[in-house]
Structure 1
Amino acid sequence: MHARIVRGAVRSAALAAAVTGTLTWAPTASAQPSEPTPSASTSPIETPAPDAGSIAITKKDTAGDVLSGAAFLLLDATGQETGRGKTDAQGKLTFPDLPPGIYRLKETFSGSPLHEVVADQDVIVTPGATARLTITDPFKAAKVLLQAKDDKTGKLLPGSTVNIGTGSDTLLTLTTGSQGTATGELPMTSRKTEFWVKQVKAPQGYDLYKPAKTFAAGPGAPVTVTVTNAKTSTTPKPDPSEKPTDKPTPKPDDPSEKPTDKTTDIPSDGAQPTPADSATPDAESSLLPEATATEETTPKTPTGSLAHTGADATPWILGSGGLFVVAGSAALIAARRRRTDSSTDDGPSES
């Protein structure tokens, strides 16, 4: 009996010992894996950094001149500022030590009141390389004011269309509005540019201004261009209220026709008429013998000749009258001589 008790006590003690040993080891065994080994803590793994790149800027204008003082801002892909700066006296600016990637370059100031800034642009930076950019700032446009005027009164005229350009290129077309003016902008390529202006449509009621005018303009500077027009000359139209007259307009006389003082009837045989008063030049012609009075006859017109007009009969009438006067005078003289001769032949009468 005693032996059984002893054996049970030994078994209980062994079981208790076994349990106690397990509880003591377990925490030690579980803690071993959680602690880093000395070698791992003293030599960490390092990731190699990629090669850096850069951006180099050269700043110019359209005339080829470098621009200093131009300000730029550089943003990364997330929109965070990576760098900023201004171009030097040679127009250059560099952004160094940039991780590879895509960047946004913004120009915030051109460095000159005559130039405009360029639009934003993306720049790709590659490992170990420099992205070189030449940025050209345009000149500011010239401000143009167009006026169309009456050349006499100076009144502003609407509806005038002009082309403005340089060389063989037309850069701007303007048409004056109701106020007789128009505005526009001319692109500039230098600090001073010569332009021409030519009118292609005149205001209503005015003649086209054909000559081409020239003017000079500068970047951002206002300039006024004036085109003058003369009124179109028109022939006055007849008044519709006036009624036409029924009287015909007399025609002018033909200068080739000569007026005649007398109308002479020409016989059908062509003989010229004898004036009635030329037959008896004076009172003594009645004493002439009948033979003497009829000795002279009127000359006849040659056969085959045409009848004369009244203008040609006048010299014949005058000539015929003259012949009759001469013939009458001769007959009178002859009659007187006969009387004298007869009285001489008879002699003195006997007493």
Structure 2
Amino acid sequence: MRSRIPTPSRLAAVAVAAGVVGTLAWVPTAVAADKYGPGFQIPDSEGHAASSHIGAYGPPGLRVWGDNETYCADPSRRGPDAAGGYFGPKPVSQWTSSETGQKVPDANVAYASYIIGKYGQTHSDAQAAAVDAATYELLAGGTYGINGSRGKQRLSYPNVSANSRSMAMGYLAEAKKLAGPYELHVRPKVKETTEGTKVTVDVDVTSKLSGEHIPGVKVDLGADSSKGSVTTGGDGRASWTFTASKTGTTAVKGTATGLPGSQLKTLDPHDKRAQRMLLAGDTTTAQDSADVTVKPATGGVEIHKKDPEGSRLVGVSFQLLDSAGKVVKEGKTGKDGVLTFEGVAPGKYRLHESSTGDDIHELVPDQDVLIVAGQSGSAKPITVIDPFKDAELVLKKVDKATGKPLANAVIEIDADDVDGAGKHKPGKKITDVTTGKDGLAKLKLGVDVKAGSAYWAKEVKAPAHYQLNSTPERFLAKAGAVVNLTLTNDPIPATMRVLKTDKESGKVLGGMGFDIATVRVDPSGNKVPGTKVASGTTGADGKSQPIKLDATVEDGIEYLLTETKAPDGYDKLARPISFTARADSEVTVRAQDSKLPTPPTPPTPTPSTPGSTPPPAKGGGTPPETPSSGSLAKTGAEMAPWAAGGAAALLAVGGGTVWMTRRRQQSPANAGNSPQE
């Protein structure tokens, strides 16, 4: 808004200032406002220092309309000091922006009214500037919008509070949520009651635009001779209680006061070239009423609530229903486990338990109650006992080593019993459960006492390929709780035996010694024997005794068989035989050896004729000495050809084959080993 034009001397001073700063652009600064009202004097849009104002017009500055603060609505028009006075305030619900020439949304008018009405009547410079900026955003728009070029500029001058922009943004967000027009809702909790009883009335105030509940609103209430007031809380709600003092129809009336205005109050200038002004501090009200029918009081009922152990139950909710199913009374048992309904018209009613107040008791079925005229509830109290809720058993069956879920395990559930020595043991059978594909079985179990009831779980049929775990497991089932019980199984061990045969003829061989070891990978990545787990010897039929080995159900466990002693006349295996043992299966490892090669018979030397002379050596010299009869064969470089052949045979002997048979089902072959069947 432009308030005045700077004098030539002021412009000259500006020029001097610009020359001093050299190449830096000169930006006029805002100064504290006290002439126009709360806010700040700022340069106008053309840069004339102190020629405009952001904030309110009014005390302690220029009075536009008595003690009210006012706010400009037309940015480019003359200020209120050039208006020549203003006509009295009038309400408007529509607005056309003098800046854009366009009608602004009706909601913007309501938002502006909320902000000016709630926050505009202030002497805070920062708050007044924030209200002014928010008003321009809603009613002027264009470059004067809060993110428009001039809108940003007005809030960015050094003397304008750094908080004004964030305050303005907060006012805008709040207005969109809480701006009026408003509705007051007065809602008695009952439409009918009896004389002398207390009636609770719920009240709330909401925005018609957003539907949001409005906090901090004072509501004056009255019903017959009862008067009172409440203030809505942070959730926009409050409650009030009065006593129905006489029979008939009682009107409960409420008035919400002090709500921010929901219509703009404008002041039109005498000189139309000046700005229209908006009146701050406007408030509005909202009203509502509701009727309550008051009938004569005639009787009551008293409820005593207990559990099967006789303990009193606190916080149990009951409703008293008439023949049409309508709620006549409702409430909760107190610390003594007692709930009393009084002032009930005579007749037959249904007592309905709607909540046990905890997680361990079951609701009881409805029961009929007869209300007698003139008879209080304490005359004939009713005792209602809530049973304990069932517990839920979630039983899980898994492989002990891998944790894999196991299906088709049959588990017997037994009651708990105590023998003569006071020791707990499984008692009467309750039922059997069978685990599914996920290894789970679920069952509801009754609970007799608050501390819980004990049961036993015992496996009577194991999953395929697993050993039966017949050790019973005791567990405690508590009311309304889930009992998670995990039972484990070990796989049935694999059975392994060795069959020793001649590699060429297939003849069975006894006397083979062997070790069985786990597999270890050496630093070079080769599989070598690890921990020794068993050893044995083949008998005359070429077979070893069966050996039990740890195994898993699917992948199995890999082992290495190493021959420690070969049958007589045979060489040992050159390398270990790998095989895989799977649970509940029998593995046969056939180890094949080759016979040791038989050395050839050396030729018999021809004896020389007595007295004869050996032939001379080539080239002359003494002929070689003829060995005498019975001398040892020569070694070293003069080794006979058959000896070299025998050494080669030692490197080639050894071999094996693996058969595996599962007792209940066929297992896949041992990948990477010798063939399996």
* TM-score interval for Structure 1 and Structure 2 normalised by the shorter chain: 0.3 to 0.5
Return the structure number with greater strand share. Answer: 2
Q: Which has the higher helix share?
A: 1
Normalising to structure 2: TM-score of the pair?
0.26
- The structure whose RCO (Cα within 8 Å, separation 6+) is larger is 1
Superposition TM-score, scaled by structure 1 size: 0.47
